[in-house]
């Protein structure tokens, strides 16, 4: 793949992340889930893999209920694939007052949906914050 194609893919992922962040900030879990492919999956810490829009919406509804008002996503790298791309990035989860609830790293496998748009297909992350020692 040419450098310009990689640049284009990175820009397209940037736009898809902007869309995700805007949908997340609405707090509407169905709108967040619609950013994922129909057979999309979350790989969340402390849980088995969750597959499909209903499970994804339920997970994000729980996160919003716990006070996560918005998410900031920052792409660090993009590796393009066949009708897909793998993104490595950093996230910050924010409360309504703008304070940071958590920050960490993620890898997202993006896939082009039938309508031509990029959607999250596989989404794994973990916190960079060391757990409090007990």
Residues at the site binding its own copies, with contacts judged by CB under 8 A = 1, 43-49, 77, 79-82, 84-86, 88, 105-107, 109, 122, 124-131, 134
Q: Which two tokens stand for residue 118?
A: 């990029």
Shortest Å distance, C-beta 69 to its own copies: 23
Comparison of 22 and 74: residue with beta carbon closer to its own copies = 74
Token pair 């660090």: residue: 76
Shortest Å distance, C-beta 126 to its own copies: 4
Q: Alpha carbon 82 to chain centroid distance?
A: 20
Comparison of 26 and 128: residue with beta carbon closer to its own copies = 128
Which of 60, 61, 112 shows the shortest CA–CA distance to 85? 112
Q: Alpha carbon 35 to chain centroid distance?
A: 9
């Amino acid at each position: 793949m040419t450098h310009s194609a990689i640049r284009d893919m990175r820009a397209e992922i940037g736009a898809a992340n902007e869309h995700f962040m805007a949908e997340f900030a609405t707090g509407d879990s169905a709108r967040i889930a619609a950013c994922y492919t129909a057979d999309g999956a979350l790989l969340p810490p402390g849980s088995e893999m969750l597959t499909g829009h209903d499970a994804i919406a339920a997970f994000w509804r729980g996160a919003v209920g716990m006070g996560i008002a918005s998410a900031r996503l920052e792409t660090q790298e993009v590796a393009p694939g066949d009708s897909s791309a793998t993104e490595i990035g950093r996230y910050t989860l924010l409360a309504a007052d703008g304070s940071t609830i958590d920050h960490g790293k993620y890898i997202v496998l993006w896939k082009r949906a039938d309508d031509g748009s990029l959607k999250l297909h596989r989404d794994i992350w973990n916190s960079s914050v060391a757990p409090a020692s007990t």
